[in-house]
Amino acid sequence: MIYNIPFIVVVLLIIVGLATVVFKRNLIKIVIGITIIESGVNLFLITLGYRENSVAPIYTFAPSTKMVLPVPQALTLTSIVIGVAVMALMLSFAIRIYQHYGTLDSRKIRRLRE
Amino acid sequence: MLHTPSGYWDPLLWILALIVAILIAYIIRGFGRKDYKGGEQSKPFLSGMDIPDEKELHIRAGNIYWGFMEGLEGYYDIMKKIHTGVVNDYVAWFLGVSALLFIVILIVGVT
Amino acid sequence: MNMNWLLTHSPALLIAIPLLAAFLTPLIDRLSKRARNVLVLIVLITVEVVMIVLAWDVFTGNTHIYTMGASNPTATIPVQAAIPIRIVLEVDGLSAFMGLISATVSLAAGLYSLAFVRRETGQGRYYTLLLLMLVGMLGMEFTGDLFNLFVFLEILSIASAALIAYRFYRGDAVEGAFKYFVISSLGALMVLFAIGLLYGQYDLLNMAALAKVMKYTMLDKIALVLFIAAFAMKCGAIPMHMWVPDSYTVAPASITAMLVVASQVSLYALFRICFSLYGLTLDVTTVGIIIISLGLLSMFVGVTMALPQKDIKRLMSYHAISQTGYMLLGVGVGLYLIGKPEFSTYGVVAMEGGIFHIFNHALYKGLLFLTAGAIFYKVKTRNLNEMRGLAHSMKFTAIFFMIGAFAIAGIPPFNGFASKLLIYESVYCVSPILSIIAMLVSIITLASFVKVFHSAFMGPPMRNTKEGEVPKSMLIGMVILTVGIILFGLFPGWVVDHIVHPAAQALADQAAYIQAVIGG
Amino acid sequence: MSEMSKIVRTISNSLFPFIMIYGLYVIMHGHLTPGGGFQGGAVVASGCALILVAYSSGWVFKKVKESNLSILESIGAIGFISLAFLGIGVTFFYNFIAGSGLLFGEIPPVGPNSGNLNTAGLLPLMNLSVGLKVIAGLFAIVAVMAFVASRRMRKK
């Protein structure tokens, strides 16, 4: 049971993030929602890499026990790097939209429709 | 040549046929009267109204297929209402379709 | 540097060269604008040439494997391990086919951009992002690794979002980019989650190795749903299509042509996941019906929504959705029939039709968007109500537009007809209604392009516009795509036998895909 | 964003070198310990962001030009890809320095050891170039955003 707690948190984070993206009208909050989903997915990946009674894959003075395969960690790092780029670009879009429209309310930012 | 389950398609042959058809049409045209110079019959007729000058006459895009749009008004009203332009709704559509796919694939897969 | 060396390393080179050039452009941009343009052109032409060489070799039956960082490019499984853990590039028929599309359209778009964005600022970054888009597309097509697929997907969406907002001084451009980016990064995160689900079960990321051990458990089904939803959204299938007209409309025309290909690459990923990753373990009937119905909806709603549009690029974007429906229909029928006796006759032809349509669509839709950009370049508006009589001054553009319009409407002898014919004649096997709807959609497509041609090119000439044609580099960009359309239209049999058939075969034959990477 | 109080400036002045050294350490030891180019770069860039917050974006842009930062960023990226290209004699990304005795070319001893910096071949070099790219890129992002926001505030 205790090992399932991270997965429950993952699901909770993703649901909170999705709810934020769907129900919040502020563009900044939408960006925050995306970031929350991303944290959930990252937590999921890092949890997959956990093995009981294993040590981190660092050779410096490591005890000679089992080491975990560092692939999930590498995946998470890559995904974090991508997440930074995504967030920066989205926020700069939000700044530009605020300059043009004078608002961050997604209901008012709809020149493109039909 | 492109083979399909029930035949084939050869564009070169088609172009040949097109050229032959154009030739035939040209020959038929040759049988027409050479001295015809136009006149009252070649002018456009619009219920006897005055036709504006041909140089100023251009139907704008918004007026083309007006009848078609009028006939399908109910459909178009719904479709335009769906496309709200609000980013939250786009995400909601995406999640809705995912949920539908979940139901279809998971439930059909079980039985 | 002999031919064999080039062939062996070309999968990596094709990704690495534009990537290196992408970061060189901002540096060279400081020294000289002309040198930067020359560099971009040289790189695009090199990619096209290497791609043709590689594709030719792949179509004659050799699947290319490339393992990054290994002591031997084909050593996919390292000595110390039993599974492929390195990044593997796998170029089979379909990858090479899609790579050809990306390289060709990028070349045309790059040439077109030389004049098209001449008056804008920040051109150094424009070309950087253009090359990065090319990298993202080629990477998604070549990779044999699921996580790499995600990385290149994100590279592609970040570069495209930044380019959609290229005219950032217009509010609607940034708005379209924001909408595109929110939904596409959400989709990419769902893809990542699905990859995590697969990794958690099988401890594998390599697609071929995964396909070999795939059991289609409950978690696999959840992952499949996430994959299908995300990639169908990225290629613009109907209930999730709203970002397509919004972002295609506001992007610069050359980028819109690239975005069309980017959508096709998502379609490729969808097919790759369904056929090569899941393959026959899949419940092919259910998934086939899902893809067919997405295709039908996209075809019908896309074309009917295109008809009343007044914005020329918005109209064309709805057509892009509608044409994507044809591909979904063709390949969906192939998936539906796979494993059934009709597959060898009708199923393969349906898949060939759908795959052939991808190339045709990229060519003529790219051409149409480029002509729309030429119109915008001239009259500074996209509103069809405000334009008329452009054929008086832009004769070549008018001709290119007509060719593109005929091709998209499926008028013989252009290329759209050949692929549509294959689709009409084969989807009949599943239900005659599918063929009837496909033909109806073609007719409405023609109708709406008659509307565009009439209102933009016919009629008395506009006042207040400059006389003359658009600059030469834009015309050359359009000529490349036009030549492709005409050649594909005149020799469809040759193209289907030598290019499309290997691609369809590569998609249908999952065992060969697995064997190419892990052997046995 | 205007300049902050003298207390904040003094404290960030004294913290800045430590953050820098820690970040550079993380970059340099990327092939031995958790971390690497991105992580260390992010630490250094956050140190730069601290200076940015303490001393207003206008002051920072007097010292550093945004265009110079983007040059650094491009150089970092080019360095990374060129290093990958160098191995193309065998395969792309092939680690040809490892075990060759050159810089970073020692063969690491098998089993638990104290961690020799002079190992791992291309990896430390790649970490360095990624670190350069991340420092310049992240700092440019934060600085430009702060600059745009502050200009906007002044307009009001």
Per-residue confidence band for D152, with pLDDT thresholds at 50, 70 and 90: low
Residue A74 lies in a domain: yes
Q: How far apart are CA D29 and CA D27, in angstroms?
A: 6
Q: Is the pLDDT of residue C509 over 60?
A: yes
Residue closest to C288 by CA, chosen among C242, C233, C343, C223: C343
D38 reaches C (C-beta below 8 A): no
Decide if B2 and C493 are in contact by the 8 Å CB cutoff.
Answer: yes
Q: Amino acid identity of C375?
A: I
Q: Amino acid identity of C472?
A: K
Check residue A112 and give its pLDDT: 77
Check residue B70 and give its pLDDT: 87
A90 reaches C (C-beta below 8 A): yes
Per-residue confidence band for D37, with pLDDT thresholds at 50, 70 and 90: confident
Residue A41 lies in a domain: yes
Over residues C13-30, the pLDDT tens digits come to 899 999 999 999 988 988
Q: In degrees, to the nearest 5, what angle opens at C-alpha C401 toward C-alphas B66 and B76?
A: 25
On the 0-12 / 13-18 / 19+ scale of CB atoms within 10 A, C314 is buried
A104 in Cβ contact with A24 (< 8 Å)? no
Decide if D91 and C72 are in contact by the 8 Å CB cutoff.
Answer: yes
**Token pair of A62 as six digits:** 């490591």
Decide if C175 and A97 are in contact by the 8 Å CB cutoff.
Answer: yes
C308 reaches B (C-beta below 8 A): yes
Looking at every residue in chain C, the average pLDDT score rounds to 89
Q: Is the pLDDT of residue C380 over 70?
A: yes
Check residue A14 and give its pLDDT: 94
Q: How far apart are CA C480 and CA C112, in angstroms?
A: 10
Check residue C255 and give its pLDDT: 93
Mean pLDDT of D87-93: 78
Q: Is the pLDDT of residue B111 over 70?
A: no
Q: Is the pLDDT of residue B56 over 70?
A: no
SS3 C276: helix
D12 reaches C (C-beta below 8 A): no
Cα C10 to chain centroid, rounded: 21
D153 reaches C (C-beta below 8 A): no
Q: Amino acid identity of D4?
A: M
B28 in Cβ contact with C437 (< 8 Å)? no
Q: Does an H or E element contain C65, and which?
A: strand C64-67
Q: Helical H runs in C394-500?
A: 395-409, 415-427, 432-457, 472-490, 492-495
D109 in Cβ contact with A56 (< 8 Å)? no
How far is A58 from chain D, CA to nearest CA, in Å?
A: 6
D70, D71, D94: residue with CB nearest C69: D94
Domain at A6, CATH number: 1.10.287.3510
Mean pLDDT of C212-231: 89
Q: How far apart are CA C183 and CA C175, in angstroms?
A: 13
Decide if A63 and D112 are in contact by the 8 Å CB cutoff.
Answer: yes
Q: What are phi and psi of C383, to 5 degrees?
A: -80, 120
Q: Which of B9, B12, B56, B72 to mutate to test the interface with C (most CBs of C within 10 A)?
A: B9
Q: Is the pLDDT of residue C101 over 80?
A: yes
SS3 A106: coil
B107 reaches C (C-beta below 8 A): no
C459 reaches B (C-beta below 8 A): yes
Q: Amino acid identity of C214?
A: M
How far is C19 from chain D, CA to nearest CA, in Å?
A: 8
Per-residue confidence band for C208, with pLDDT thresholds at 50, 70 and 90: confident
D148 reaches C (C-beta below 8 A): no
Share above pLDDT 90 across residues of chain C, in percent, rounded to a whole number: 47
Q: Is the pLDDT of residue C335 over 70?
A: yes
Q: How far apart are CA C446 and CA C409, in angstroms?
A: 5
With touching defined as 3+ CB pairs under 8 A, do chains D and A touch? yes
Per-residue confidence band for D111, with pLDDT thresholds at 50, 70 and 90: low
Over residues C118-165, the pLDDT tens digits come to 888 888 889 999 999 999 999 999 998 899 999 999 999 999 999 999
Residue A107 lies in a domain: no
Cα D128 to chain centroid, rounded: 7
Q: How far apart are CA D25 and CA B93, in angstroms?
A: 47
Q: Is the pLDDT of residue C56 over 70?
A: yes
Name chain C contacts of A48, Cβ cutoff 8 Å: 196, 199-200
D7 reaches C (C-beta below 8 A): no
A36 reaches C (C-beta below 8 A): no
Decide if D112 and A56 are in contact by the 8 Å CB cutoff.
Answer: no
- Rg of chain A's alpha carbons, rounded to an integer? 19
* Total structural domains within chain A: 1
Decide if B83 and A111 are in contact by the 8 Å CB cutoff.
Answer: no
Check residue C47 and give its pLDDT: 93
Task: Find the domain containing A19 and state its range.
Answer: 2-48+69-101
| C-chain residue closest to B7, CA distance | C425
Residue A64 lies in a domain: no
- For residue C67, the 8-state DSSP code is E
Q: How far apart are CA C241 and CA A24, in angstroms?
A: 21
Decide if D78 and C20 are in contact by the 8 Å CB cutoff.
Answer: yes
Q: Does an H or E element contain C90, and which?
A: strand C88-91
Q: Helical H runs in C79-145?
A: 93-116, 123-142
Over residues B39-53, the pLDDT tens digits come to 666 776 777 777 766
Per-residue confidence band for C232, with pLDDT thresholds at 50, 70 and 90: very high
C415 in Cβ contact with C485 (< 8 Å)? yes
Paired sense of beta strands C64-67 and B7-9, if any: unpaired
Decide if C174 and A96 are in contact by the 8 Å CB cutoff.
Answer: yes
Least confident of A72-86, C194-208, D81-95, D104-118: D104-118
**Token pair of D22 as six digits:** 């820690």
C151, C178, C193: residue with CB nearest A44: C193
Residue A91 lies in a domain: yes
Over residues C435-465, the pLDDT tens digits come to 999 999 999 999 999 989 988 888 888 776 6
A56, A77, A88: residue with CB nearest D38: A77
Check residue C400 and give its pLDDT: 92
How far is C316 from chain A, CA to nearest CA, in Å?
A: 14
Check residue C1 and give its pLDDT: 60
How many alpha carbons fall within 13 Å on the CB side of residue C206? Answer: 24
**What is chain A's pLDDT, residue by residue, as a tens digit (114 residues)?**
777 888 999 999 999 999 999 999 999 999 999 999 999 999 999 988 888 778 777 766 667 677 788 888 888 989 998 998 999 999 999 988 888 888 888 888 888 776
How far is A4 from chain D, CA to nearest CA, in Å?
A: 26
Residue closest to C513 by CA, chosen among C156, C71, C210, C249: C210
How far is B61 from chain C, CA to nearest CA, in Å?
A: 5
Q: Is the pLDDT of residue C272 over 60?
A: yes
| D-chain residue closest to A79, CA distance | D38
D30 in Cβ contact with D36 (< 8 Å)? yes
Check residue B54 and give its pLDDT: 61
Name chain A contacts of D152, Cβ cutoff 8 Å: 95, 99
A109 reaches D (C-beta below 8 A): no
Q: Is the pLDDT of residue D154 over 70?
A: no
**Token pair of C226 as six digits:** 């996430």
Q: Compute CA distances C47 → C50, C52, C101, C116, C135, whole Å.
A: 5, 8, 12, 22, 10
Write the CB contacts of C286 (distance below 8 Å, at least 6 apart in sequence). B104, B105, B108, B109
Residue A61 lies in a domain: no
Paired sense of beta strands C88-91 and B2-4, if any: unpaired
Q: How far apart are CA C352 and CA C257, in angstroms?
A: 23
Decide if C23 and D74 are in contact by the 8 Å CB cutoff.
Answer: yes
Place of tokens 């895909």: C513
Query: How many CB pairs below 8 A link C and D?
Result: 53
Mean pLDDT of D44-70: 84
Q: Is the pLDDT of residue C72 over 90?
A: no
Write the CB contacts of D86 (distance below 8 Å, at least 6 apart in sequence). D96, D122
* Chain C adjacent subunits, 3+ CB pairs under 8 A: A, B, D
Check residue C401 and give its pLDDT: 92
**A window 47-66, beta carbon within 8 A of D:** 56, 58-64
Residue closest to C448 by CA, chosen among C307, C298, C302, C303: C307
Decide if B62 and C310 are in contact by the 8 Å CB cutoff.
Answer: yes
How far is A30 from chain D, CA to nearest CA, in Å?
A: 18
Check residue B96 and give its pLDDT: 93
| A-chain residue closest to D155, CA distance | A99
Mean pLDDT of C403-418: 89
Name chain A contacts of D156, Cβ cutoff 8 Å: none
Q: Is the pLDDT of residue B7 over 90?
A: no
How far is A114 from chain D, CA to nearest CA, in Å?
A: 33
Mean pLDDT of C357-381: 90
C277 in Cβ contact with C216 (< 8 Å)? no
C486 in Cβ contact with C80 (< 8 Å)? no
SS3 D119: strand
Torsion angle defined by CA atoms of residues C77, C80, C85 and C91, in that order, rounded to the nearest 10 degrees: -20
Residue closest to C244 by CA, chosen among C155, C316, C293: C316
Provide residues of A within 8 Å CB-CB of chain B: 18, 21-25, 27, 30, 106-107, 109-114
Check residue C152 and give its pLDDT: 93
D94 reaches A (C-beta below 8 A): no
Mean pLDDT of C493-504: 89
Residue A106 lies in a domain: no
